[in-house]
Amino acid sequence: MRVQELKCYTESGSFFMKISGTSVPFSRGLAAVLALIIVGSAVAAAGANRPTLPPKYKKWLQEDAAYIITKEETKSFLDLTSDADRDKFIDHFWDVRNPTPGSPDNSYRNEHYRRIEYANQFFGHTSHTLGSRTDMGRVYITLGEPQQRQKLLGLQKITPMEIWFYSNGNPALPPFFYVIFYQRDVMDEFRIYHPYSDGPEKLITAVAGPSRQDALTILTQDAGKDVARETLSLIPDEPVDFNSGEVSLASDVMLGTIHDLANNPLTKEQLANRRKLLEDVSHRVVLGEEFLDVVTAALRNPLGNTNLHYLLRLKKPDDFTVGQSAKQGYYYSVLVSAKVHDADGKLIFSDDKKISRTVSAGDFDDVKGKVLGYEGILPLPPGKYKIEFELSNLLSQVAFHREVEATIPTVPANGLQVSNIIPFLSAKAQGRSSRDEQPFTGAGVSFSPRAGSELQLVQGEPLKFFYQVWAPGLANAGNSDKKIDVEYVYGRLGAQDNKTVSDQIPLNQLDRGGSIINGKQIATADLENGNYRLVMTLHDPQSQAKVYGSLNFSINTTAMAAPGWDISDDTAGAGEADWDRALCYLAANDKEQALNWFRSAYSKDSSSERFRDKLIEMYFDRQDYGKAVELYARGGLSESTDEQTIVRLAESFSKLGDLPRAVTVMESGATLNPKSASLQLGLAEYYRRSGNAGKAAAAEQKGKQLAASPAS
């Protein structure tokens, strides 16, 4: 462990501290108007008092960052008066979005510019428009390469079409959806098709003014029923009615979210969290997997829910730096990041924590010469995951990066399942008031795991390990006197010196979820030096089910590893773990479980707009409009309510036959967001439905003015 003098930088990049020490919903027929609303339009509204942007900064704002910069960031950028400050702003803009914060190799920025280059190369040729400014270019830059593309060209009765399919990881959007582009005229660029605003009849060329049914018939016959269905809804699992041809607002709402994804509340919340976590971070050195050990274990809690417990452990004491100041004594500051991806590499969620703590002189003497570790928990349901771990020392500006694959086994209804074997240094009982959801804790016992070179034992040092058995089918009173047989076989590889130890696990110790933590200690005093492998077999005599586990370790005559000291953090907000678990289920397209866990998150923090908005979206997609309006009754609307949520609530009231309440919701939303063209145009539609032509015309006129205004 080192103590050194450091410089830290604020969000804007300016020096602030020296540490001393030693070493848009769309209304029917108005999609074209709403398409005029773009993020970059704020430039023209900057006002006469702002300095004129030099060309390269104007290009960066209006082209490079147009679709990913927030309105607040745009305003801040326009308020800057010097090129030096603008350069610092741009550097920080990319740093905040960097998946590996502080690293000079910014994969987000590289991918973004690759998308711009692709858009400019392949789109915009028909109208000689910059490709990034076309609808296809905007969607490609915002969402990236689609998983599938389908081109429908040369059909006599149908306009040229291209359908993109996305498998999405952004929580603001459905997990799977389509985007349809169509070409109205041979000299036009392909533009986005809006099911509610345009309708399938917009895609038909052979018949003048076709009816909805005529259009669906032509699409089904010439392009296929799947395409016809997609023209009614871009969301694969949204119910559609071919008989009536009725289209909900859900697809147009989703397209509105894509159009202004940078300003979606979830996007802005993610950016705010990253700024808060990275406010002390400048450029860092990022080291690879050879500098960081990772231990993971899939364990169930007493309720039967699976979690991934993990330990990130540095390999040398000198890899960690502690700061010293005259007033506070010793202290450290670390940033821990865990990015959870599905088996295909799609990001599900990111868990980022910043831990800054003081260390007393006595504690400092105790941890000197020890190796830092961090213990954490990820709320992962059964499935296969790819996880990027990063442990950053904010004082030395060094980050340690490691990628692992983790499988959370499915809990068997019958039979057995066992976790991996986790070796540990020590164990201590937890008090009754301690939370169950602590890393490497179960059955009231907290374990300190071994990692890396700590599995190189000194001869005579016992090998201690634990594991968890899952047997929910055996957790009943009828099995109270039964046991599971366990056999441990260990020996040196190829030495034919195997030893066997037998044991039993009483089933009456299973918790209510059908799990049990079992610990074991193997004596090593009579073991020769060398590399060993332990194989464990669990056998249920009644069902004859068998499961296995294994562990590698070595025996040496002298100590090989420095002792470790581990920290953890349990300051996650109420409901956040349930939210992350719900996102995992949503990524796996298990919407029932996702809905259950979103409900659980909201029940723990009913003040969270993010939780409520997602629940409303889920209920709306299920056409459970009654549940959606119940959530409105609990919280109403506020300035932070997502515009898409406002539209979903209004449409829910409309679907329930309560048009006056639908109008009220839209009026409240428009009042809370007076500069929102989309809400004004949506309000006009609801006035029109309720037969109030005068108010509809006034709201539509105001919406058009806002849409055409550079300040919108």
301 occurs within a structural domain:
yes
Helix, strand, coil tally for the chain in percent (to 5): 35, 25, 35
The residue type found at 158 is I
Range scoring the smallest mean pLDDT among 352-366, 461-475, 656-670:
352-366
For residues 287 and 693, which has the higher predicted lDDT (pLDDT)? 693
Q: Are residues 231 and 315 in the same domain?
A: no
Q: How far apart are CA 598 and CA 632, in angstroms?
A: 16
Q: How confident is the model at residue 666 (pLDDT cuts 50, 70, 90)?
A: very high
Give the predicted TM-score (pTM) of the model: 0.78
Please name the residue that has the structure tokens 């070409």.
183
297 occurs within a structural domain:
yes
Please count the CA atoms within 13 angstroms of the CA of 309 that sit on its side-chain side: 25
Q: Are residues 408 and 513 in the same domain?
A: yes
Question: Residues 496-538: pLDDT tens digits?
Answer: 899 999 999 988 888 888 899 999 999 999 999 999 999 999 9
236 occurs within a structural domain:
yes
Full domain range(s) for residue 357 = 284-568
Please count the CA atoms within 13 angstroms of the CA of 231 that sit on its side-chain side: 27
Q: Are residues 298 and 268 in the same domain?
A: no
Q: Are residues 251 and 294 in the same domain?
A: no
Q: Is the pLDDT of residue 14 over 50?
A: no
Q: Are residues 181 and 300 in the same domain?
A: no
Q: What is the pLDDT of residue 9?
A: 32
Q: Are residues 345 and 374 in the same domain?
A: yes
Q: Are residues 507 and 411 in the same domain?
A: yes
Q: What is the pLDDT of residue 280?
A: 55
Q: Which helix (H) or strand (E) holds 358?
A: strand 347-359
Contact 310, 338 (CB under 8 A): yes
Q: Are residues 160 and 209 in the same domain?
A: yes
Q: Look at residue 85 and give its three-state secondary structure.
A: helix
245 occurs within a structural domain:
yes
Indicate the DSSP class of residue 370. P
Q: Are residues 380 and 478 in the same domain?
A: yes
Q: What is the pLDDT of residue 478?
A: 62
Q: Which of 500, 341, 536 is nearest to 419 (CA)?
A: 536
Q: How many CB atoms lie within 10 A of CB 242?
A: 15
Contact 629, 652 (CB under 8 A): yes
Among candidate residues 223, 245, 277, the one where a domain is terminated? 277
Q: How far apart are CA 651 and CA 653, in angstroms?
A: 5
Provide the residue count of the chain: 712
211 occurs within a structural domain:
yes
Q: Which of 252, 122, 130, 134 is nearest to 193 (CA)?
A: 252
Q: Which of 174, 194, 170, 180 is nearest to 150 (CA)?
A: 180
Q: Which two tokens stand for residue 374?
A: 């961090």
Q: What is the mean pLDDT of the chain?
A: 85
Q: What is the pLDDT of residue 6?
A: 36
Q: DSSP string spanning 193-259?
A: --TTTT-GGGGB-SSSS--HHHHHHHHHHHH-HHHHHHHH-SSTTS---TTT----SHHHHHHHHHH
Among candidate residues 277, 297, 320, the one where a domain is terminated? 277
Measured torsion, CA atoms of residues 287, 289, 290, 294, in degrees rounded to the nearest 10: 120
508 occurs within a structural domain:
yes
77 occurs within a structural domain:
no
Q: What is the pLDDT of residue 8?
A: 36
Q: What is the pLDDT of residue 281?
A: 53
Best mean pLDDT range from 177-181, 192-196, 280-284:
177-181
Question: Residues 210-265: pLDDT tens digits?
Answer: 889 999 999 999 999 999 999 999 999 888 889 988 887 778 878 888 998 998 88
Q: What is the pLDDT of residue 19?
A: 34
273 occurs within a structural domain:
yes
Q: How confident is the model at residue 708 (pLDDT cuts 50, 70, 90)?
A: low
Q: Are residues 252 and 316 in the same domain?
A: no
* Nearest-10 crossing angle of helices 83-97, 265-277: 100
The number of folded domains in the chain is 3
Please name the residue that has the structure tokens 């295909």.
344
Contact 369, 1 (CB under 8 A): yes
Q: How far apart are CA 640 and CA 268, in angstroms?
A: 11
Range scoring the smallest mean pLDDT among 7-16, 105-114, 642-651:
7-16
Among candidate residues 253, 277, 301, the one where a domain is terminated? 277
For residues 479 and 21, which has the higher predicted lDDT (pLDDT)? 479
CA-to-CA dists, residue 29 to 35, 77, 184, 204, 701, angstroms: 12, 35, 15, 16, 14
Contact 311, 449 (CB under 8 A): yes
Percent above pLDDT 70 for the chain: 87
Q: For the residues 673-694, what does the mean pLDDT come to? A: 87
Q: Which two tokens stand for residue 513?
A: 């979820």
Q: Are residues 549 and 694 in the same domain?
A: no
Best mean pLDDT range from 163-177, 377-391, 553-567:
377-391
Q: How far apart are CA 305 and CA 398, in angstroms?
A: 35
Q: Are residues 447 and 352 in the same domain?
A: yes
Q: Is the pLDDT of residue 278 over 70?
A: no
Question: Residues 362-386: pLDDT tens digits?
Answer: 788 888 888 899 999 999 999 999 9
Question: Residues 456-466: pLDDT tens digits?
Answer: 999 999 999 99
Q: Which two tokens stand for residue 379?
A: 């709320």
Q: What's the CATH code of the domain at 336? A: 2.60.40.10
Q: For the residues 561-565, what does the mean pLDDT come to? A: 79
Q: Is the pLDDT of residue 33 over 70?
A: no
Q: Is the pLDDT of residue 562 over 90?
A: no
